Structure 1
């Protein structure tokens, strides 16, 4: 069996414009995480990582 994909949540749940500034996921991605299959989770983690790179940091 394939290794479980862990949630990218870092327990800094702050939403800004429908996006969590802690993990980079959208509200919809967060809501559907548990029901996602492994390939969808992998894509979500990749998209979230790309979003986080674009968020300005203090």
Structure 2
């Protein structure tokens, strides 16, 4: 039986690294500083969870 290799969720960084002081999110990728700092050590599931929350963080 072949093993399925799932690709790691890519970082949402778009190289616009500036924090919005009102909501404490980066205005480029909408992650918190802690999420940005921890990204490389998070599991695939944790990364996917963060990615699923990003759209809700973007101001309308």
Structure having the higher helix fraction is 1
Q: What TM bracket, shorter-length normalisation? A: 0.7 to 0.9
Among 34, 43, 46, the residue aligned to 2:40: 34
TM-score (normalizing by structure 2): 0.80
The number of residues matched between the two structures is: 54
Equivalent residue, structure 1, for 2:11: 7
Higher relative contact order (CA 8 A, sep 6+): 1
Larger Rg, first or second structure (1 or 2):
2
TM-score, length-scaled by structure 1: 0.82
> Runs of 4 or more off by more than 3 Å in structure 1?
none
Q: Secondary structure at the match of 1:11?
A: coil
- Which residue is 1:16 aligned to? 20
Structure 1, unaligned runs of 5 or more: none
